[in-house]
Amino acid sequence: MSTVRILIDAAALHERIGALGREIRTFYGDEPIVCIGVLKGSFIFMADLVRAIGGDVRCAFLGVSSYEGTQSTGEVRITHDLAASIRDAHVLIVEDIVDTGLTLAYLRRTLAVRGPATLRIATLLDKPSRRKQPVDVEFVGFTIPDLFVVGFGLDLDEAYRNLPFVGVFDPES
Ligand code: IMP
């Protein structure tokens, strides 16, 4: 039988996301921020983060899918695009986890050409040891080792997204 071992519990998530939100608001001052959640994994982090940031925050969502053909190349595609222009906006991409970096490197390139005033990234989790493509990530919740994690929005074949903690999926146990 498979189990999920807690890696980051609900209290630690709450505390860190609160601090991250305050850091982001301080960084932007009173400027309006357009937070763009990357579906589906970011939806729980996004909900907590935008409340922690406070002030003038607008919410938008992007759907992406990624295919990994070989070990070194990955193809990312937008499956659900933004409904409104981001021209001249302070855009903050909100992601669940940075793994190979392919998704965020693609999103940075794709959104940059739409003319935002600024473009930055906030991620709940970062697995730097897995990086295949370098990507600047300005706001990181937790740096974690090379583990497959689920919960708090992250899934395994669509399951486990609703766990209130981040856990390590352990198929052996
Ligand atoms: P990338 O490899 O940085 O492009 O990450 C793409 C996506 O892979 C992330 O947004 C997640 O949806 C998914 N992903 C990467 N690592 C994990 C994990 O440990 N658990 C669940 N999903 C993951």
Please give the number of the atom of ligand 1 that sits closest to the Cα of 106.
4
Average pLDDT of the segment spanning 129-144: 96
Domain range for residue 95? 17-147
Residue in the structure block whose two tokens are 């609160």: 18
Is residue 171 situated within a structural domain?
Answer: no
Active site (catalytic) residues? 99
Residue 48 beta carbon below 6 angstroms from any ligand 1 atom: no
Give domain status of residue 160, yes or no. no
Q: Which residue lies with its CA nearest to atom 17 of ligand 1?
A: 148
What is the per-residue pLDDT for 171?
Answer: 66
CB of 148 sitting under 6 A from ligand 1: yes
Q: Write the DSSP symbol of residue 151.
A: B
- pLDDT at position 73 is 57
Instruction: Render pLDDT for 44-70 as a digit per residue (tens, 0 to 9).
Output: 999 999 999 999 999 999 999 876 544
The count of structural domains within the chain is 1
Q: Tens of pLDDT along 71-96?
A: 445 689 999 999 999 999 999 999 99
pLDDT at position 65, please? 87
- The verdict on the CB of residue 97 being under 6 Å from ligand 1 is yes
